[in-house]
Amino acid sequence: MPELLGDEILPILGALEALALVDLEQGVRDIAIAFLPKILGQLSPQPHLVDDLNRAVSQLLSSTFRRRMTFASCQRSTFLASIDAGQKPSVALTDEMLRMIFDLSQDSVADVRISVARFVGSVCDEFVRESEPIPSLLAEIIQRLSQDSSLSVKIYIPDPATLLGGQQSVTFPSFGDVVEPLTPGQPSRSRHFSKPPLSRLNSSASITDLTGSGVQPMELDTNVVVDRLYGGADSHNNGGETGHT
């Protein structure tokens, strides 16, 4: 769309992305998370717009638990996009990203820690794939989450003794899957916000307003606008379901 309409559309695109990340509709948030790296890339001709959107993402940290979940999922989406672009995991996982995830791994809300665990599991997968050493702060996060009180957190974390001991035969859950309902008749759950199925436990088994970003509420049907701007998800982020939270 920016190529067709010119750079004047970029501020609107950035504002819509920021609004979509805090939308009340889960499906809209899912699409916004999946396409965050692409939107940031499209905004790159105007660096101040990139800064505005990154600031809006950062503000998710100090809000409701659902927005903290969204923040963790945004970090995962950004990390995986960097991997797809050819970066090594040790480069894609920035120090700032790691510090923020470290803090979130201690969140009092289990659903937030689940989102963090999904991110950490994806990161571990890439470090193992590239045979890169695990950063010490990441190792501390792995150790903490592997001892979490919630099985739905621990399911995403590889056995620390296996991973940190240098062995490379680590099996991870399929992070792009939609979680199927445990009870017949229930809707499928979002890949970003749902607890994983207990049947997939591994050997280690043991989510206010947007402020300060300059975005003003618009009298738009966000679902329609986001669908027209983004279309369907792809790559690591496909397979989401819409729903209310």
Look at residue 188 and tell me whether its pLDDT is greater than 70: no
Q: What pLDDT, on the 0 to 100 scale, is given for residue 180? A: 37
Q: 2-207+220-237, which class in CATH?
A: mainly alpha
Look at residue 207 and tell me whether its pLDDT is greater than 70: no
Query: Of 178, 193, 23, nearest to 115 (Cα)?
Result: 193
Task: Report, as an integer, the average pLDDT of 37-54.
Answer: 96
User: In Å, what is the CA distance from 92 to each residue of 27, 41, 86, 87?
Assistant: 26, 15, 9, 6
DSSP per-residue string spanning 103-154 = HHTT-SSHHHHHHHHHHHHHHHHHHHHTTPPPPHHHHHHHHHHHT-S-HHHH
Q: What pLDDT, on the 0 to 100 scale, is given for residue 233? A: 46
Q: What pLDDT, on the 0 to 100 scale, is given for residue 160? A: 87
Query: Of 205, 168, 219, 222, nearest to 17 (Cα)?
Result: 222
Q: What pLDDT, on the 0 to 100 scale, is given for residue 202? A: 40
Mean pLDDT for all residues in the chain: 76
Tell me how far apart the alpha carbons of residues 244 and 194 are, in angstroms, rounded to a whole number. Answer: 12
Looking up tokens 């957190």, which residue turns up?
Answer: 153
**pLDDT, tens digit, for every residue of 86-125?**
999 999 999 999 999 999 999 999 999 999 999 999 999 9
Across 78-92, 131-145, 213-227, least confident range:
213-227
